[in-house]
Amino acid sequence: MPFGAGTNLVASIGDGAILKIFPSLLRDQFLSERTTLRLMFRRLADVTTPELLYEGERDGWSYLIMTRLDGDPASEVWPQLDEPDKQHMLRQLGRLIADVQRVPAGELLALGPSWSDFLQAQFAACRDRHQRLGLPSPLLDELDDLLQEAAAILPRDPSPVILTGEYIPENFLVAPDGRGWRLSGLFDFGDVMAGFGEYDLLGPSAFMAAGHRGRVRALFEGYGLTPGEITWQFKRRLLALMLLHRASDPVRHICIPDWPSKVRSFDELQALVWPD
């Protein structure tokens, strides 16, 4: 049975197994997924990742067979949660991100790109990307100044940690427990790389926290940040990373209704997405 979402063909093949097939032009995703599955299996205390069972190649196509995880798609559960449960889930998600980043990056470091090379490529393409995707004119007018600022505040050679880039409801599973719902499974590692840890706070910030003060606080607390660490400068780094993210598309990805009509500057956007 094939699954509908995703870049690659993913199918259930019975007996609790999943087949994922990668075309030759996405071989880098195959390598990232394979390496991350090996690194992550049984390394997280509270959340399960798939076990890699088999791998192979045929006619230029690569494939992985892995165990199927138990749980419900978070993308189906999240919209139904009340506000306290959403904050509870975001606190768990922040903790999960921190737990993943404590796993040594190991073989991922050899796959690339390096964080420095990744940033350089993202800086080079940033203006054209956001102009094409329709970033509101007041923000586009400020973009060059923000990128200059970002070049000064973002580390080029941080201690590299595992980054999935995609801590969004489509990529994890949940299960009911006595407090409501708990994170139970994490999957889809084709875009994993190693780099600056704060980068992985962006998916939950844009797709899930959505400018709610309590949700933002829960995410950051789960990640292990103290109130004194959640500074304007920290949020400025997040804003810069949001615009440089591999999948950056603020108009469509910031889940705050009609947000472009509410801001006229990047300062206002920062305050809207990460309120004090």
Four-point Cα dihedral 188, 191, 197, 203, nearest 10: -70
pLDDT tens for residues 161-185? 999 998 999 999 999 988 789 999 9
pLDDT score at 5: 54
Q: Is the pLDDT of residue 4 over 50?
A: no
pLDDT score at 178: 82
Tokens at 22, concatenated: 């990668």
Q: Is the pLDDT of residue 116 over 50?
A: yes
Instruction: Note whether 177 and 269 are same-domain residues.
Output: yes
pLDDT score at 106: 95
DSSP result, 210-243: TT-HHHHHHHHHHHT--GGG--HHHHHHHHHHHH
pLDDT score at 71: 96
- Domain span at 33: 9-67
Instruction: Note whether 37 and 114 are same-domain residues.
Output: no
pLDDT tens for residues 197-251? 999 999 999 999 999 999 999 999 999 999 999 999 999 999 999 999 999 999 9
HSE, side-chain direction, 13 A CA sphere, residue 275:
9
What CATH number corresponds to the domain at position 29?
A: 3.30.200.20
Instruction: Note whether 194 and 261 are same-domain residues.
Output: yes
What CATH number corresponds to the domain at position 179?
A: 3.90.1200.10
pLDDT score at 6: 58
pLDDT band at residue 41 under the 50/70/90 scheme:
very high
DSSP result, 22-62: E-GGGHHHHHHHHHHHHHHTT--SS-B-PPEEEEEEETTEE
Mean pLDDT for the stretch of residues 185-197: 97
pLDDT tens for residues 61-97? 999 999 999 999 999 999 999 999 999 999 999 999 9
pLDDT band at residue 3 under the 50/70/90 scheme:
very low
Within 8 A by CB and 6+ apart from 136, the residues are 251, 260, 263
The domain boundary residue, chosen from 48, 67, 86: 67
Q: Is the pLDDT of residue 27 over 90?
A: yes
Mean pLDDT, all residues of the chain: 95
